[in-house]
Amino acid sequence: MDPCVLWFYGLSGAGKTSLSAAVAAALQEQHIPCMRLDGDDIRGGLSRDLQFSTADRAENIRRTAEVARLACQQGLVVLVALITPTENLRAAARSIIQPLPFHEIFLDCDYQTSASRDVKGLYARAEAGQIRDFTGKDSAFEPPTAADLSVDTRTQTLPESLAQVVNYLDSKPQVHS
């Protein structure tokens, strides 16, 4: 597989971390060098100085896209898992990474289903007013108009979602094993 960036996005709890980890494991089994950039890890380190304002979200995505571009230039398949709530932010990430291959993968999962999977307690804290600017509640999430791939994580199991991503990658002429 050629180096590229796979940008997984959707609401908190949509399955970005789980699916990107499963794709990374599948790539590693094939001895394809890859790197995961997960939103929780980025927020705990590289972007620990940022909050969730519109400007801070944009800066978090800019930083992550710059790291993804650098890693991709070094020959890695980079799997990014970030909420990336607006078309403008996704376009900004794409513009930083291109002309390198960039694949926008939307994890389609509604607010209620995501909230029911709330292992971190974020939805409950947002509903209690303890988290401001929570995506999907106080801060808008714009569904994509033209994602490269849309994965319905409301109804699909993780293995089904993984198979969908692998089939997508196998169908791309610039992405080959």
Region 112-118: mean pLDDT is 86
Question: To the nearest whole number, what is the mean pLDDT of the chain?
Answer: 91
Whether the predicted pLDDT of 143 surpasses 70: yes
Cα(132)–Cα(160) distance, integer angstroms: 34
pLDDT band for position 174 (50/70/90)? Answer: low
pLDDT band for position 120 (50/70/90)? Answer: confident
At 124-141, the pLDDT tens digits run 777 777 877 777 677 788
Please return the burial class of 106, using the count of CB atoms within 10 Å of its CB with bins 0-12, 13-18 and 19+.
Answer: buried
- Per CATH, the homologous superfamily of domain 4-170 is P-loop containing nucleotide triphosphate hydrolases (3.40.50.300)
At 4-61, the pLDDT tens digits run 999 999 999 999 999 999 999 999 999 999 999 999 899 999 999 998 888 999 999 9
Predicted confidence at residue 176, as pLDDT, reads: 39
The residue extents of the domains of the chain are: 4-170
Report the chain's terminal Cα–Cα distance, integer Å: 4
